[in-house]
Every structure is written in structure tokens, then in C-alpha cells.
Chain A
Amino acid sequence: MAEPAPEPALRASSLSQAYGESWVLRDVSFELPAGGTLAVIGPNGAGKSTLLQVLATLLRPSSGSVSVLGSELPGSAWKLRGRLGYLGHSPLLYRDLAAAENLRFHARLFGLPAEGAERIADLLERVGLAHRASTRVGEMSAGMVKRLAVCRALLHDPEMLVLDEPLANLDPAGADVVAPLLGPRRGRSRVLVTHDVAAALSGADRVLALTREGSVAFEAPAAEVDPDRARSIYSEESLRGAMA
């Protein structure tokens, strides 16, 4: 399904995002080749989640230009419907529906053949929730909900994964189960927010570091980033903030 696109998977230039009267992202530019992985790092409040919501077409960019899988936002956002797998802080699951019912709902919305029955069973099996298929989401632990949300995001085999701290709320066992599912794959581009700098540098092709003000600290191939320099964005920024 995911044919390699000639254009980069992501391209943003001078993207700025306002929330009411204040700027959350300032003049952010980056590019990610098709099939690659972009890790977004930065201190709390740097606008990482906002950036991912923009890339997932859930927020309209305030200014600057962004294109995802060759579609310009927000004008061509509709072309991306059904091609992105978004995993944010909110699981996008109904509390009063059972695990399998939630997935079936999404499978139908994505027009999967035979309501994706096989795919649902397979995914539930792989995240270790097969025995919980008829448990309501409202009765699940945070870790289980997260695993179910991973199934939801992967259900339609998206061309691009937009992952906001995908391993948060998971215990080490859960993380081990989920990580390979969300890992790099041929023809699938990924953008992920993480606080784990080491993982970002080893698992990604490019790293985008944001400052506390929401502007770019650096943007570089992961291999060329010095881990200490990457870690310093967390402290350096507070230092600069204190001096100003």
C-alpha cells in the first residue's frame, strides 16, 4: 500500500503555531526523507505535541508551510485522511466500548475489508490483549489502554506514524511488546516525540531539537549529533531563560 513517494515525507518551512495570543512554535523548519524517522526532542512546553498535532492534520498551522506525504497543509489535509497513524496523549477510544468494539469501529471508519476482523485479532494478540477483547476501555489500566491505542493507530497499516511519546504509561514489558510494532519499517515514515535522548539518537535518522520557546535548537542527522549536546537543550535553555 505504501509506495515510496518521490518527495520527502515531511517538509516544514518557517512553521509557527499560535495558541490564542502566544506562540507555541516559532519559525520551525525541517525535512524528513520518505521512509525515514524523525525524532523530536525538547523540554516540556517546547511545543512538541503541538507540532505533532499539526503534522497529524489535527491542528491548522498558523503560518509557514508544511507538507506531509506530499500534501500541503491545511489545504490538502483531506488527502491524508486514512494514511496517518496518530498516537497522541489521548487514546481516541470510547470508554464505554470494549477493546474489540473500539477497533471494529475504527476499522469500519477506515473502510477495511471484512471490518478488519483478522487484523484486529492479530493486533490484539501481538500487544497481549487477546484475552481482553471484550473488556470495556473504561475498565482497563492506563498501560492496557495505551497498548490498545497502538492497535488503533496501526489498524489501517498507515504510510506514516505520528507518535507522541509512544512508550509513556507502559511498563518495561509493555514497552517491549509495543516497540517492535511501532519500529522502522520499509516504506513507512515516522515522526516521534521522546524524552529518551539515547533512543532518539539510535532509533532515528534525523533529530529535531526544540527549545523551551518553541524554536529550533538544532536539526541534524542523528548520527552527527553529539549526545551531550542533545542532552544540553534541557539545561541550557533554563540557563538562558534565567539570564535573560
Chain B
Amino acid sequence: MNGPSTFSAVATILGKDLRVELRTLQSIPAMVLFSTTIYVIFRFGLDRTQLDGGLATGVLLVTILFAALLAINRLFVAEREQGGFEAIRLAPVDGTALFLAKALALLVYLTILELFAIPVFWLFFLDSGTGLLPMLPVVLLLNGALATTGALISPIATNSTARDLIGPLILLPLLVPPMVAASAAGAKLLLAGGPDYDKYASWLGALGLYDAIFLLIGWAVFDFLLED
């Protein structure tokens, strides 16, 4: 039997996820609320009302990272509890389609989160938003890293006996390199005196390389996570 193309399978699964999210609002509102609360905690934790440079980047990126963990934790719960893993294994569909669809779903969630979280960050902490524009490619590539590693590690965590623990435990060290790269780029971009583009391209390159490598790894090994 000929199955659908990988592209069509990805579109089907992604469409299902977005439809369910739109209907149940399980992830995105929680991420938005969570990020705003983290800003408030940073404001008092750091005892600063204005941020710039490395501190500003750190607050923004760590907030995105933590909010992403919320979505990653929930990413495969419906597949496990409502039989999605089995359904996809019975269908003439490549397991890779599930990986790609979930990574894309995470990308969509993160983009929507950032449509709120970045303006709020500007409003709360920054004098001028000029550094935020060149920061966008950095954040988008960081989203890529969060999406690929998240879609790879989340099913492992979901199928373990300690989902909430295993996911963040593995993901946090795994995400150190892209966080390092994005922070290093951002520290220069968000300087109070205006963005400095020193090594900007190298950092984007490093982030892109990380995204590409984890995309390939996910592509290569994801089928093994679906078997039983």
C-alpha cells in the first residue's frame, strides 16, 4: 500500500497538533504567562529595572528556554495517552514525519510565545529596542535548536516513568551550546550604546550548524523511538 508523501504526513500531524492546541489552549497561554512571571522574578532576583548587554540577553534567552521546556514536556503526551504512537506505527508513514511535525509545532509555539514575550521584554527592561531587530535571527535559530532537540528528547521522556524529570534533565545540558552562542551574540547586540556586530555571523553560523546537526540526528534515529 502506498502511503502519503512525508510532506503530506507532516502537514497532517502538524495540522492535528495546531488544531488541538487552538481548541484546548494547553501550551501557548501557559508559556506566555510563565514568561511574564519569570521576567518579574528576574526583576527582583537581579534587583534591576533596566537591563542591557549580557544581562539583558541572559534574561530573555533563559526565559524563552524555560517556557520552551513547558511545551516540550507536553509535546508527546497526547500521542502516548491517546494512542498516537500506535496509530502512526500502523499507518504507512515514516516515523520521521512525526519528528518533523513535532519540531515544526514547537517552532510555531515558540514564535507565538516570542510575539508576546519579546515586546514585553522591551517594555519592561530596555531603553531602546534597536538591538532587538538583529536579535531576531539569533532567536529564530535558537528556536530551531529548541525545536529539534525538544522533538528528539521529548518522546524519550514521555515514554519513561519520570517524564517531567527526564526531559529537562537531558535537555538543559544538551542546550548549553546554542544558549552559549545566542547569549554571546546577544550580549553585543543589546548593549546600551547600540548593537555591535562583532562575530555576529560566526554566532549565527554556530547556531545554524547546531540546528542542522540535530535535525539530521533526529531524522536518522527517530524511527527507533517509535518501536516497541
Contact = CB atoms under 8 A, between A and B. Distances in A.
Interface of A: 1, 53, 56-60, 74, 81-84, 86, 88, 90-97, 101, 105-106, 108-111, 156
Given A58-B86, A108-B4, A94 B78 contact: yes
Nearest to B26: A96
Contact of A82 (B23, B24, B92): B92
Instruction: State the majority secondary structure of interface residues on A.
Output: loop
Contact of B16 (A86, A88, A91, A105): A105
Contacts of B90: 56-58, 81-82, 84, 86, 92
B198 interface: no
A90 B44 CA distance: 48
A42 B227 CA distance: 27
A189 to B, nearest CB: 15
A96 B24 contact: yes
A60 B1 contact: no
Interface string B182-208: 000000000000000000000000000
A155 to B, nearest CB: 10
Given A82-B91, A94-B82, A109-B4, 4 more contacts: A82-B92, A92-B86, A97-B20, A110-B1
A92 B83 contact: yes
B74 to A, nearest CB: 13
Given A60-B228, A83-B1, A110 B92 contact: yes
Nearest to A84: B90
Contacts, number: 86
Contact of B91 (A74, A97, A106): A106
Interface string B104-126: 00000000000000000000000
B9 A91 contact: no
A109 B83 contact: no
A63 to B, nearest CB: 16
A60 B86 CA distance: 13
A84 B4 CA distance: 16
Interface string B216-228: 0000000000011
A60 B228 CA distance: 6
* Residue of B20, B82, B227 ringed by the most chain A CB atoms within 10 A: B82
Given A58-B228, A60-B227, A96-B24, A81 B89 contact: yes
B114 to A, nearest CB: 25
A237 B174 CA distance: 53
Nearest to A111: B4
B129 interface: no
B35 to A, nearest CB: 24
Contacts of A109: 3-4, 9, 12-13, 87-88, 91-93
8 closest A-B pairs by beta carbon, nearest first, are A82-B92, A92-B83, A111-B4, A109-B91, A82-B1, A108-B12, A81-B92, A92-B87
